Amino acid sequence: MSIASETTGQVAREEKADKADGTARRPISRWTILRALAEIRIWWRDGVVADLDHVATVERVRGESLLTSRYIFMTAMSAGIAILGLLLSSPAVVIGAMLLSPLMNPIIGTGFSLATGDAGWLRRCGKALIAGSIFAILFCALIVFLSPLQTVTEEIAARTRPNLFDLLVALFSALAGSYAVIRGREGTIVGVAIATALMPPLAVVGFGLATFNWTVFGGALGLYVTNLVTIGLTAAVMARLYGFQSDLTHRQSRVQSIGIMAIFIALAVPLAFSLRTIAWEANGQRIVNQEVAEAFTDRARVEQPIVNWAAKPVTVSASVFTPEFNPSADTNVAERLAERLGRPVVVTIDQFQVGTDPRAAEQAALAQARAREAAEASERQIAALGRSLALIAGVERKDVLLDRENRRARADARPLEGLTLAGYRELEQRLENSTPGWAVELRPPLSALPEISVAEDGLDSANAGRVALIAWAAQRSGVRVSLSGSEAALQAVTGALGDDTRLFDTRTEGEGNTVVADWSVATE
């Protein structure tokens, strides 16, 4: 056979193969897609949904989603652990609260009751959720109210600004939880997924209520409601997909589906805007860090700048440890930031000059960190002093005067039944001893003053103590005291008073060794 004939035969065979391939690779038609979808639907119905025991699953979920004493107790324990973890800013403790997962059952029950159209079950699940939520909020508020720690930590602040990512966390948690319940594999890990989105925000709501911080309260409540609705509706969608039938008509089911989709969109839109704001602020923080660092030499060390985005104009404050001062740093950085951020910016940079040794800046930064830590400890001590003084005085915290410059604390005490002047002075001394460096002044009520007995050889220790107590009461109250008795007795008492005699009026009456003390007209 010639070479030409072999080539012709090969070309013919290739053309035939191309035609065959062209027939096999016809464009995918609409009917092909519909046929594939129909096959998937049949497989889902016969291979997945048919294997489920729907009646047993519904009964199990129904029995575990109602309001019981165990549910309330576990909710309280989970809430207590969560709020302590938030106050300590300890993620590990917060995770420990999630392990109890008390809110999983009623919220999954809410989704199943929506899917099956069981209004009675839905009401019972709603009752359990409302009761558990209110109890958890009040329990957390009580713990915060009694706790000496009432600072907004990073863990608390992180749950006051809901965004689209929080919605996605709730969505994925609900998908995992619903799948596990439907397939009969629910457990602690699934409960953690649900509790991640619910219990910490609920604890922060209690914190905001106890501290009357309505910004924290509102932000955390918004996050909790968002996650609650998202999980409930996602559970309903999953239940419908797995064939849990509803008594609703086809049209009612369609309306319900449209309503669920509308709620998701209504939640996602504002959260997306919130996420956009957070992303803009994060990018803005990066720009601020970059501009402040570029204003100084490579040997300078810049502490993390603090940016207040809510201020108008935006304020930036930073500390820089540098071997060379830059007198125009504030102005230059403010101009560049205003240009890059598109907003007016006020910049305040505290510059600390250090040596040229590269380690000098690090040592200075460490020293400042220690000083900042000491200042924070001092502030906590002052806050504790104010709360303690308010407690022993029987007044509100706002009624306590704290003079930081002169390190003085003062409060006017309310009369307490059975508490004498000596008791008020003892409380003042105890509080002052527990706060070194501070002078504590507890102004007592104008209660009865003790009588003073003068012996022939003068005042004994007991009566000298009474004179000192009366002098203390006169100093704290600012009210003059009238002393009446024999001339000899008055001389002994006024001699013991020393410079405090200016606070007393004396009146000579009768004989004897007793001096009577009484309050005179106020001269404040």
Is residue 361 over pLDDT 60?
A: no
N- to C-terminal Cα separation, the chain: 133
Distance CA 215, CA 161 (A): 10
In 295-420, where does DSSP find H-type helix?
Answer: 329-341, 358-393
Q: Comparing 76-80, 126-130, 152-156, 297-301, which segment has the lowest mean pLDDT?
A: 297-301
Is residue 496 over pLDDT 90?
A: no
300: DSSP letter: -
Which residue in 79, 74, 66 sits closest to 224, CA to CA?
Answer: 79
- Say if residues 515 and 454 touch (Cβ distance below 8 Å): yes
Is residue 175 over pLDDT 80?
A: yes
Is residue 58 over pLDDT 70?
A: yes
- Say if residues 493 and 459 touch (Cβ distance below 8 Å): yes
Which residue in 260, 245, 250, 247 sits closest to 45, CA to CA?
Answer: 245
Specify the pLDDT at position 7.
43
Specify the pLDDT at position 367.
56
- Say if residues 416 and 409 touch (Cβ distance below 8 Å): no
Q: Which helix (H) or strand (E) holds 505?
A: strand 504-508
- Say if residues 492 and 458 touch (Cβ distance below 8 Å): yes
In DSSP notation, 258-278 reads: HHHHHHHHHHHHHHHHHHHHH
Specify the pLDDT at position 186.
56
- Say if residues 235 and 105 touch (Cβ distance below 8 Å): no
**Mean pLDDT of the chain, nearest integer:** 77
3-class SS shares of the chain: helix, strand, coil, % to 5 = 65, 10, 25
Q: Comparing 13-22, 287-296, 349-358, which segment has the lowest mean pLDDT?
A: 13-22
Report how many helices (DSSP H) and strands (DSSP E) the chain contains, helices first. Answer: 17, 11
Among positive and negative, which fits the CA dihedral 181, 187, 190, 192? positive
Residue 523's pLDDT band (cuts 50, 70, 90): very low
Residues 6+ apart with CB under 8 A from 97: 78, 79, 80, 81, 82, 85, 195, 199, 200, 203
Is residue 462 over pLDDT 80?
A: yes
Residue 213's pLDDT band (cuts 50, 70, 90): confident
Mean pLDDT of 420-424: 85
212: DSSP letter: T
Specify which residues 455 forms β-bridges with: 458
Q: Comparing 9-23, 278-292, 499-513, which segment has the lowest mean pLDDT?
A: 9-23
Distance CA 390, CA 221 (A): 30
Is residue 325 over pLDDT 80?
A: no
User: What is the distance, to the nearest Å, from the Cα of residue 50 to the centroid of all Cα atoms in its chain?
Assistant: 46
Residue 190's pLDDT band (cuts 50, 70, 90): low
Residue of 406 and 411 predicted with greater confidence: 411
Residue 205's pLDDT band (cuts 50, 70, 90): very high
Specify the pLDDT at position 192.
56
Residue of 318 and 264 predicted with greater confidence: 318
Q: Which of 200-214, 227-241, 265-279, 286-300 is most confident? A: 200-214
Is residue 245 over pLDDT 70?
A: no
CA angle 98–104–110, rounded 5-degree value: 155
Specify the pLDDT at position 360.
54
Distance CA 197, CA 205 (A): 13
